[in-house]
Amino acid sequence: MIDIVLLTFLAATAIAVVRHRNLFAVVMLAGIYSLLSAGLFVTLDAVDVAFTEAAVGAGISTVLFLATLALTGPREAVPVRKPYLPMVVVSITGAALIWGTLDMPRFADPQAPIHQHVAPRYIETSPTEIGIPNMVTSVLASYRGYDTFGEVTVIFTAGVGVLALLGIRRKRSSKDAAEKE
Partner 1 sequence: MNWVGLYNYWIVIFLMMTGFYIVVSQGNLVKKLVGLNLFQTSVFIQYISMGKMPGGTAPIESSAPAVYSNPLPHVLILTAIVVGVATTALGLALAVRIKQAYGTVEEDRIREEDRNV
Please list every residue from 62 through 91 that binds partner 1, using CB under 8 A: 64-65, 67-69, 71-73, 76-77, 79-80, 83, 86-87, 89-91
Secondary structure class of 130 (helix, strand, coil): coil
CB atoms within 10 A of CB 54: 17
Residue 4 sits in the site that holds partner 1 (CB under 8 A): yes
CB atoms within 10 A of CB 46: 15
Residue of 5, 125, 151, 168 that binds partner 1 (CB under 8 A)? 151
Residue 2: phi and psi, rounded to 5, are -65, -25
Q: What is the DSSP letter of 108?
A: T
Residue 17 sits in the site that holds partner 1 (CB under 8 A): yes
Residue of 1, 32, 39, 56 that binds partner 1 (CB under 8 A)? 56
22 bridge partner residues? 75
Residue 170: CB minimum distance to partner 1, A: 8
Residue 12 sits in the site that holds partner 1 (CB under 8 A): no
Residue of 1, 32, 39, 106 that binds partner 1 (CB under 8 A)? 106
Residue 37: CB minimum distance to partner 1, A: 5
Q: How many Cα atoms within 13 Å fall on the side-chain side of residue 159? A: 6
